[in-house]
Amino acid sequence: GENVEQHPSTLSVQEGDSAVIKCTYSDSASNYFPWYKQELGKGPQLIIDIRSNVGEKKDQRIAVTLNKTAKHFSLHITETQPEDSAVYFCAASNAGGTSYGKLTFGQGTILTVHP
Amino acid sequence: ETGVTQTPRHLVMGMTNKKSLKCEQHLGHNAMYWYKQSAKKPLELMFVYSLEERVENNSVPSRFSPECPNSSHLFLHLHTLQPEDSALYLCASSQEARRETQYFGPGTRLLVL
């Protein structure tokens, strides 16, 4: 089955700096890669996703890049703000066809943005 | 976050108790999921329902019993749990089981004494 590795486990940055979180996956058939943000006391919230036919996607201060050859994808947050502090999870799935959308999650990254 | 709601938000139970977790989605989705989130572990998929039919049981002990009476509601019935079952239980939904984007509820924080 799919295995997703996420690094780093903790990341501390100063407000205004950029933050990068990286994930690798093992199943070359995976074709969908979402990123979730989980704040304290809340469930994970989808913040951005990318599909295997796209190399990069941006949404304001957030961007995700995908390297299918190397089987890794990354989350980039620019101009970080204290409210970006949360746990971030990457995930991968091979959905469509005969398989259902089973997401395999990374272990999570605790991001702390210091004012 | 109001798209998927879960009750109760917190639950403390003894090992001999029977309790149920409830999930409701207001998004018109056809697939619903139960996940377990333990400290320092990735989210673990427990069950998947598509159009009220269970399509995945991820080797979950029988002390966890899911129920999906319709596409909007999902229950997780708990009985004779163990302390190691203490965790955050998350419900999610997606438009179809083959549609990747899943939307999560806030979770139920469960403590088994």
Read out DSSP for A19-67?
A: EEEEEEES-TT--EEEEEEE-TTS--EEEEEEETT-SEEEETTEEEEEE
Q: Which residue has the higher pLDDT, B71 or B100?
A: B71
pLDDT digits (tens, 9 = 90+) for A83-93: 999 999 999 98
Place A39 in a pLDDT band, splitting at 50, 70 and 90. Answer: very high
Nearest to B55 among A49, A100, A107 (CB): A100
Place B53 in a pLDDT band, splitting at 50, 70 and 90. Answer: confident
pLDDT digits (tens, 9 = 90+) for B87-96: 999 999 998 8
Rounded to the nearest angstrom, the gap between the alpha carbon of residue A55 and the centroid of all alpha carbons in its chain is 14
**CB contacts, 8 Å: A43 with chain B:** 1, 4, 6, 90, 92, 104-107
The total of other beta-carbon atoms located within 10 Å of residue A21's CB is 23
DSSP SS3 for B9: coil
Cβ contact A41–B106 (<8 Å): yes
To probe the interface with B, which of A100, A104, A105, A110 has the most B CB atoms within 10 Å? A100
How far apart are alpha carbons A52 and A92 in whole angstroms? 10
- As beta bridge partners, residue A96 has A99
To probe the interface with B, which of A103, A107, A109, A110 has the most B CB atoms within 10 Å? A103
* Token pair in block for residue B63: 């002390």
Tell whether the model's pLDDT for residue A97 goes beyond 60.
Answer: no
Q: Which residue has the higher pLDDT, B39 or A65?
A: A65
Q: Tell me the average pLDDT of chain A.
A: 92
* B71 phi, psi to nearest 5 deg: -70, -10
